[in-house]
Amino acid sequence: MLKTITSLILCFTTTVFVAQNQDISDQELKQFADAFQQVRMLNQSSQQKMIKAVQDEDLTVERFNLINQAEQNPNKKVEATDDELKKYKLAMQSVEAIQTEVQKQLETKIQDAGLTLERFQKISALLQNNKELQQRLTSLMQG
């Protein structure tokens, strides 16, 4: 239901660069954990703002997503009235404005935790395939 909006949000936090296998200190992993928690909370609140922006234009999230998928993929057809398309465009403008603001806030929160955006992304990439690093992160976040 919220697939497209969630995808829009996730693109900010999961866009990663190819990471080399680098040692990550406990301190740096703790900084990442702190930043990750802040990013997660920001994503949750921004998702709610985007849902509200869509609903404020009298569209359901499902309808917005269908129209958005058709806009993104010329092979996908969806019948939409002119009024729906107008509402979609207004909602999309609001969603894009929210995304721009969220991106700035994400970068600030990551930097406030003591990491650069690039380093945060590299650690994210390493975490995807490194079980030991995942376990270290889980331990830090629990304790």
Burial of 68 (0-12, 13-18, 19+ CB in 10 A): buried
**CA separation for the pair 94, 137 (Å, rounded):** 35
- 0.85 surpassed by pTM: no
Ranges of residues in the chain with a pLDDT under 50 are 1, 8, 11-21
List, for residues 56-74, the tens digit of each pLDDT value: 999 999 999 999 999 998 8
Confidence (pLDDT) at 14: 43
Q: What confidence score (pLDDT) does residue 4 get?
A: 54
What pLDDT is stored for residue 5 in this prediction? 56
Residue 47, φ and ψ in degrees, nearest 5: -60, -45
Q: Where are the domains of the chain?
A: 3-12+26-142
